[in-house]
A and B are shown apart, each in its own frame.
Chain A
Amino acid sequence: MILEGRVWKYAQQVRATDLVPARYDFIKLTDWTECSTHVLEDLDPQFIDNVQRGDLIVGGQGFGAGHAHYFQQAFEGPRWLGVGGYLADSFDPIFMVSAIGAGMPCWSVPGILDFVSTGDRIRCDLTTGTIENLTAGTTIHYRSVAPEVVEVLEAGGLDKLTVRKLGLGVKA
């Protein structure tokens, strides 16, 4: 599975409520189109007007941390906007599994902040654990994404994978 796109790098801890501010409580509204217009609104006001489909958000330690009430909007908003995935030094483990479960790629790549800058185009092979920085012409190898995660992402999320595993919804 390959992710390719431009990088938006934030070296600090990117919290769930940085991805979509807490003042928009979309868990009650579940209007993900509207939600997607508020992505990174406080942290980087330039983001929303310049993001392109497939772009990747790169962060530091503990990406996605915060109260789990705000997790869903923090991956549904960017996903509806076309963000291709999250890479970070490390993730909040509950955020990470929730996002993967919803079909949003995320993976921990220690040292990623030294390898990319905002605007670089990168190509990330989840299965082999290789990231090419196409702008800088460099390559790094990291711990490849676990097959258990690739399986979920390729199915389009955990619910879809579960339905397939249980043989539900298949016309005889």
Chain B
Amino acid sequence: MQMTMTEKILSAASGREVLPGDVINVPVSGVSVHDSAPMGIFDTYPEARVWDPTRVVICYDHFSRTNMAPYHARFRDFVRDQGIPPENVFAPGRQGISHQVPGEEGFVLPGTVYAVFDTQGATLGALNCFAFTSLFTTPSVLALGTALVVVPEAVDVELTGTLPPGLTSKDLTFHLHAQYGQDLIGRVLEFRGAGVASLSVDQRLGVANAANNLGALTMIFPGDDVLAEWLAPRVRESYTFVAPDPGATYAARLTINLGDVPPLVSGPDSIEKICGLGDVIGLPVNAAYIGSCSAGRLDDLALAASVLEGRTIDPSVRFVVTPISMEVMREASAGGIINTLVAAGAMVTPPGCGACYIGNQSPLVLGDGERCIASSVSNDPGRMGSKLAEIYLSNPAVVAASALEGRIADPRPYLLQKAEVSL
């Protein structure tokens, strides 16, 4: 049988050839859980054991306020009782988002099946694996080491060209949503083509992060030199890239020239509302936010810094930046990016979900009637505070330019000026 990447990975893991529509209890290579996860049977039955403590990762990302300390104490007890190695626990000082850190730390390998409690677990599909959210089934996955999965159909997405300057994964995923949304529901997006190499691993993680928003089960990027170089210093075991067979059956085939992707914005109140940046230019904003599992990576912070360098944000805007992980915080600090952001007037917080988590633990909480431009995942009413606030989503360059002007702004003139100066 000629197989898609999805079929190959799920067949290899389950030890038999699987087809779309099959229901399988598939063995997973690892599970990542964050600090607000309900632990179900582990709370009810203290004698319950995880199937393999060395393959469980715990990330502190949602809760940062001190009044959430009991949640963290509960996880410390869980880690101790289950014999989970301390190096698998990413507590303050090592913390980061639960579907970023396992990749950074080499727990996630190409060709494997990786389960994440968080809804955005598909993010790790950037690493040429089948990564998905096991959501409320996670306690069962932790106990049995297998996950209930309905084998999905795949969509072949060929990328050509390169994204225009100042555009990111955010624009690409809004473009996918606006143009091809109905083709993607319930399916897996499998990327290929010459355009893939132009996307950094940061950008690929940002693309795969949108699977849940698109209604897709997950996304899988191919293995290539860019990914191999990223993985080399990180991986804990040897791996082999997985590629589709030439005659594999896809439910749909798309070709996207990255050069044709326009700057896009989503909102307010629904990720389904997508429009051109030009349509919302000039709308006043009270708050600006860069962070989350969608766009809080080094690439994103560097792009924002290149817009902000030597400039000062509008004093009427509360501008908060939350790096996705301590690794990103360290690199952004070492590279001077944090300095640039802070000098411009941004408040940089410890890593985590920040203002995007629906129980917002960030200093950036929106009030009635406010408007925010954010690079984060969701713009449902109430996501960042008041249900009477408006959230628009965009790439981090647009957020940075909007923070400078106090209204939704096009970052390209700032990026262009910077390019001319450096020439």
Contact = CB atoms under 8 A, between A and B. Distances in A.
Contact of B148 (A13, A61, A97, A163): A97
Interface stretch (A33-41, A42-50, A68-76, A116-124): A68-76
Contacts of A152: 148
Given A62-B185, A69-B358, A146-B23, A159 B140 contact: yes
A83 interface: no
B37 interface: no
Contacts of A129: none
Q: On chain A, which size bracket covers the interface? A: 35 or more
Interface string A141-161: 001001011001000001101
Interface in A66-104: 66-69, 71-72, 90-94, 96-98, 100-102
Given A25-B382, A98-B136, A62 B215 contact: yes
A12 interface: no
A65 B185 contact: yes
A159 B40 contact: yes
B213 A67 contact: yes
Contact of A166 (B22, B48, B137, B378): B48
B140 A162 contact: yes
B381 interface: yes
A23 interface: yes
B144 A23 contact: no
A148 B135 contact: no
B24 interface: yes
B380 interface: yes
A97 B307 CA distance: 43
Interface in B348-386: 358-359, 378, 380-382
B311 interface: no
B353 to A, nearest CB: 12
A146 B22 contact: yes
A134 interface: no
A59 to B, nearest CB: 12
A2 interface: no
A149 B152 CA distance: 16
A138 to B, nearest CB: 24
B45 A163 contact: yes
A172 interface: no
B47 interface: yes
